[in-house]
Amino acid sequence: MLAVRPALPSEYGAIGDLTASTYLDEGLAGADYAATLRDVPARAAETTVLVAELDGRLVGSVTVATRGGPYAEQAEPGTAVLRMLVTDPRARGAGVGTALVEAAVATARTDGCLVVRLSTKATMTAAHRIYERLGFTRTPARDWSPLPDLMLLTYELPLAFCGHCGEPGAHEQCRRKLVLDPPRYCSGCRRRMVVQVHPTGWSARCVEHGTLTS
**In the complex, which residues of this chain contact Zn ion (CB under 5 A)?**
162, 164-165, 171, 174, 186, 188-189, 191, 206, 208-209
As measured in angstroms, the least distance from the Cβ of 176 to Zn ion is 10
As measured in angstroms, the least distance from the Cβ of 135 to Zn ion is 13
The C-alpha atoms of residue 68 and residue 79 are separated, in whole angstroms, by: 8
Q: In this structure, which amino acid lies at residue 183? A: P
Rg (CA), the chain: 20
Neighbour tally for 212: CB within 10 Å: 17
As measured in angstroms, the least distance from the Cβ of 179 to Zn ion is 13
Distance of CA 160 to the CA centre of its chain: 13
Of the pair 151, 189, the CB lying nearest Zn ion is at: 189
As measured in angstroms, the least distance from the Cβ of 136 to Zn ion is 18
Of the pair 81, 206, the CB lying nearest Zn ion is at: 206
Of the pair 34, 212, the CB lying nearest Zn ion is at: 212
Distance of CA 6 to the CA centre of its chain: 15
CB 108 within 8 A of CB 64: yes
Of the pair 43, 164, the CB lying nearest Zn ion is at: 164
